[in-house]
Amino acid sequence: MFTIEHEFDATVVTLVDEGETPLKEDVTVNAFDDCVTIEQYDPVHDRVMTITLSFTQVRDLEAALDLPEGVYRLKLIDEDEA
């Protein structure tokens, strides 16, 4: 399950783990104008851990989820070429 909220400065997506046990903590994805942050509570350290990605890294991650093992570089296409 997931939720989507549009806030003043970000779009917030929360991913809720509903699978079989052991369940993981919720993951919160914040999409800002200049970056994306991913947050998850870490019960071992009793704090929220945050990762910050550029939009280039998000684009690469999206592509990587559909590709086999290997090393890749995405080529950007100009809108005029499309």
For residues 6-35, give the mean pLDDT.
93
Q: Which of 2-6, 8-12, 21-25 has the lowest mean pLDDT?
A: 21-25
> 2-34 b/e with 16+ CB inside 10 Å = b?
eeeeeeeebebbebeeeeeeeeeeeebbbbeee
- Averaged pLDDT score across all residues of the chain: 91
CA dist., res. 57 & res. 51, Å (int): 12
Q: pLDDT over 70 for what percent of the chain?
A: 95
Higher pLDDT, 81 or 48: 48
For residues 52-56, give the mean pLDDT.
96
pLDDT at 37: 98
pLDDT band at 55 (very low <50, low <70, confident <90, very high): very high
